[in-house]
Amino acid sequence: MSPEQIVEATLFASQTPLTPREIARADESLDVGVVRTALDGLRERYEGDGRAFQVYQLGDGYQILTRPEFAPYLERFDSVPRPPSLSRAALETLAIIAYRQPLGRIELEEIRGVASASVLRTLQDWELIAVVGRGEGLGRPLLYGTTKHFLDHFALQSLSDLPRAQDLPISLARTTAEEVTESDIGSLVRSPETSEATGSMSGEEVETESR
């Protein structure tokens, strides 16, 4: 078996992104350099053949995923997994945490102007955020930050790939919810409809809030 075939088989069988070091464990003939060369070869071959899938880098790992443009065809099949879409409340909360982390619930709610305990639990359940420490204030409040799964979900290699805060249409330093409008939210982080290379993010929004 060639290194490219071994790497391809490993990625094809994995349901989560794998780093080159993890892939290299598949065979004694592989090392990180050989794996990276094989990944480049697979990408070039898939692109040249016009395949419906590609090797995508998600965080520091790699995964074979269907190209986004094929999402409309996949949506016709119930057997194709479709993760639920992020509601506006969840996306807004996630964006604020991404740019202001580590961030406590009270500070988050001061920015949003609405109770956020429920949406925080949802984002934790989805493993998009996690408790990363405790604050110095009264009661040592929990502080939240984004996770590796956050990077994978939005196809980011690192937080430095987020748009610069000064380039956003709103300032995350605002402290009143009235200043954060729904039209601003989509610009804070990449849209789920385009970030998931598997195609569809068109499931029901599972987190809503009344303001």
Measure the CA angle with vertex 158, ends 157 and 160; round to 5°.
125
The answer to whether residue 122 scores a pLDDT higher than 50 is yes
CA-wise closest residue to 171 among 96, 94, 87, 59: 96
Q: What's the rounded Cα separation, in Å, for the pair 166 and 58?
A: 25
For 161-180, how does the pLDDT look when each residue is reduced to its tens digit (9 = 90+)?
887 766 665 544 443 333 43
Q: Which residue has the tokens 């009344």?
A: 210
| Domains within the chain, CATH numbers bracketed | 3-66 (1.10.10.10), 88-195 (1.10.10.10)
What local confidence, expressed as pLDDT, does residue 166 receive? 63
Q: Using CA atoms, how far apart are residues 145 and 97, in angstroms rounded to an integer?
A: 6
Amino acid code (one letter) for 32: V
The sheet carrying 129-134 orders its strands as: 103-104, 142-146, 129-134
Grouping H, G, I as helix, E, B as strand and the rest as coil, residue 5 is helix
- For 110, phi then psi, to 5°, come to -65, -35
Confidence class of residue 182 from pLDDT cuts 50, 70 and 90? very low
Is residue 211 predicted with pLDDT exceeding 60? no
pLDDT tens-digit map of 22-41? 999 999 999 999 999 999 99
- pLDDT at residue 193 above 70? no
Q: What is the pTM of this model?
A: 0.56
Q: Tell me, what DSSP letter sits at residue 18?
A: B
When mean pLDDT is compared across 11-25, 75-89, 126-140, the lowest value belongs to 75-89
- pLDDT in the model for residue 175: 36
Q: What is residue 146's three-state secondary structure? A: strand
Integer CA distances (angstroms), 121 to 94, 126, 159, 207, in order: 12, 9, 22, 10
**What separation in angstroms does the CA of 193 have from each of 38, 168, 187?**
29, 19, 13
Name which residue leads in pLDDT, 37 or 194.
37
| 108 close to 121: Cβ distance less than 8 angstroms | no
Element (H, E) at 134: strand 129-134
C-beta separation of 144 from 105 below 8 A: yes
Two structure tokens written together for 146: 């984004």
| Mean pLDDT value across the chain | 79
pLDDT value of residue 78 = 78
Sign of CA dihedral 177, 181, 186, 189: negative
